[in-house]
Chain A
Amino acid sequence: MFLDDINKPRQEYYFKPPGFVTRWLEASLQDKRDMPIAWLYWNIMVTMYPALFLLWALPPSNLLGASYLVGFNVLYMQRFILAMHYSTHKRLFKKGSCLGASEFVNKFNICVVAPVFGIPCNTYWLHHVVMHHVDNNAWNKDLSATEGYQRDSFKHWLWYWVRFMVGSWVELPYYAFRKKRWDLFAGCFLGMAGTMGAYAYAHALNPITSFWTMAAPFIAVSTAMMFGNWSQHAFIKPEDPRCNFGLAYTVLNHPDNQKSFNDGWHTLHHVNSQLHWSEFPETFVKRLAEHAEKDSLVFDQGTASWAFPNPGTLWRPESQDCLRNASHERGLTRLTRFVHTQSVSSTSGSLCSRGTTGF
C-alpha cells in the first residue's frame, strides 16, 4: 500500500502564464503554494473569456453554444469549483497587494468568474463557508445537508437536487436574514438579483447564446456541485453525525486528487477548513490514529487496490511487505513508520472534532 498523492505532479492547470505574470503572482499571493489556483484562473481568463465574448459577437448558434458549454466544462468545471473553494476559504492575494485592491480581487472568483460557470454572483461564500461548514451538514440548517436522505437512492438524490436548484434562491438569502447577517444577506440578495437581471437582459438580446452561456451552465454546475456534495457526505456515522471524522470520508490515490486540489481528503478539510490543500496527504499520515479511533472511512482508488485479495487487511503491520514502490519512497517511508508507531500505541477517547475551526 502506498500513498501516491504525496508525490504526483499537479494537474489543476494546463499551461503557465508568461514569466512576468508568474513573478507578479509570486509577489502578490498570500501563499505561494496556491500558484496552481492562480495559474488555473489565468488559463480560464485567456481561453474561456475570449470564447465567451466571441460567442456573443457571432450570430446565434446552438452548435457553437453547445460546443462552448461542453468544451469548457470538461476542461475547467471541476478544477474551477475546487479552486474557487480553496481560494474562498483562504484569501488568494495578500492584503495590500494588487495595487491596494486585494479585497476586491479576492472576490473576483465568486463574483466574476463563478457566474461564467453558472454559479450566481456572490453566493458561494455564504453557502459553503458560512452555511455548510458552520452547520456541518445538519438537517434544516445546511441547505445542502445530506443526512436526511437515503444516500444510495437516485430518487432521493433527484429530490435533493431539485430542492437546491429551486430552494437555494430563497433559502440562502433567508438563512443570512434569519442569522441577522445583514451584510451577507445584502450581498447574496444583490448577487442573485444581479444574476437574474443579467440573464433576463441577455435573454432579451439573444435567447440562444444566453441559454448556452448562462442557463445551461447553471443547470450543469448545480448538478455537478450537488452530486459532489452528496458524494462527499454520503456516508455518515449515525452515532455521531456531527463528528467531522464521521460525516465525510477520504479517497486515497484517486487520479482526480491531482486535478482537484486533493479533494479526496474531505474528512481533513472538515476537521480543519484552514488546512492548506497541499498538506492533506502528510497530515493524514500524522493523524492516521485519530482517523482509526473515530472509525473514519478511507477508500483507496489507486490501481494498487486491485492487487490485494483482502482489502480489509490493508495497512495492518503484517501487510507491509506489500509496501514496494521505489518511486514513492517518501510516502512509503512515512506511512510505514507511522503504521509501526500506531500498532504499538494505545488510543485515547478524545472528543471528536466538530464543526469548523474557523474561516
Chain B
Amino acid sequence: MQFSFSDEQRTLQTSMRTFLEHECTPHQVRALWESDTGRSKERWSRLAEMGLLGVLVPERQGGLGMDEIDLVLLLEETGRAALPEPVLDTAAVGVPLLAGLEGSSLADGWLRRVPAGDAILAVGHRANAFVADAHVADLLLMQHDDELHAVPRPRVHVERQACNDPSRRLFSVKWSPASDTRVARGVEAKRLLAGALDRGALGAAAQLLGVGQQLVDLAVRYATQREQFGRPIGSFQAVKHMLANVAVRLEFARPVVYRAAFSVARDVATRAVDVSHAKVAAAEAAAQAARVALQVHGAMGYTCEVDLHIWMKRAWALRLAWGSTPWHRERVARAVLDGIDDD
C-alpha cells in the first residue's frame, strides 16, 4: 500500500506545468477563439515533443508505454492551463481504443502517428451527445450500437454546435457505418467502449481538478489584492470561509481521482464505480470553485475582460463531458445501493 506518485511522475508534472505556463497563457487561449479551427498546430507539435500525446502509446509504436497513473497528473495540468487542444480524446481515450484492437494493422499505423503529433483522434461515444474536435480529427472512432468503427475524416460530415465555452468545439457527426470501417463488434466492442467511457470520465475528472485549483488560486490572488473598506477583501471571514469550503472539496476530490487512475491502469474489479466517484467528486468541487471564485471577484468576475470566465466555462463544460454528474452518481448508486454491476 503506497498511495503516492513517484518523483519521476512529479517531475513530469512540473515540466508540463512550466511548459503550459509559457505555451498556454490566457492571452493565447483568447487568441484562438477567433481562429478558424480554435486549435494550434504548432502547439500540438510541441505537446508531441513533450511526450504527452504518446504517454499511453506502446513503446513499439513510438510511445512512452506508460499508464493512466502517469497520465493523470499531466491531464490535471492541462485543466489548470485551460488547454484547448484535444489531448483528452486523442491521448487518453483514442489511443487505448486503438491499442485494444490487437493485431489490427490499421490501428498500428494510426498509433505510430499519434506520438509524433501527426494524427488527431476524435471519439464518438454514446456518453457524449456530440463529438469534440471532429473538425480537426484525422480519424474518428465512432460507436454504432455495439460496434466500434474507425472512420477517416473525409468520410464524415460535421456540423458545429456553438458552445458556452469559446474554446470548446463540439460537432454533430453524420457518417455511414460500413463493413470497411467496422473494427470491433459484440463483446470486444463492448469492452473497448466501456474502457473508453471510463478513460474519458477519468481524464475529464483530472482536468476538472486542475480547473478547480486554478479557480481557487485566481480567487485567492484577487481577494488578496482587491481592497474595500480599507482592507483586502480576503481578510473578511465571509470571503475566507467560502474559499476554505472549496479547499476542503478539492482536497477530498483529489485522492478519489488518483485512485480512479490506479483502478483504470490496473483494471481492478471496482473500476467503473471508482471512475464514476472520481467524476462526481471532481465535477462538484470544480463547480463549487467556479461559483465561489465568481462571487469573490464580484462584478469583475461577471465580465469577459477578466480571465476568470475561461476556467468557469471549462468547469461547466467538463462536468457534462463523458457522463454528467447525475449519470455517474446513479452508476455508483446502482452498484453500491442496488448491487447491480452495469458492466
Bound together: no
- A residues adjacent to B (C-beta < 8 A): none
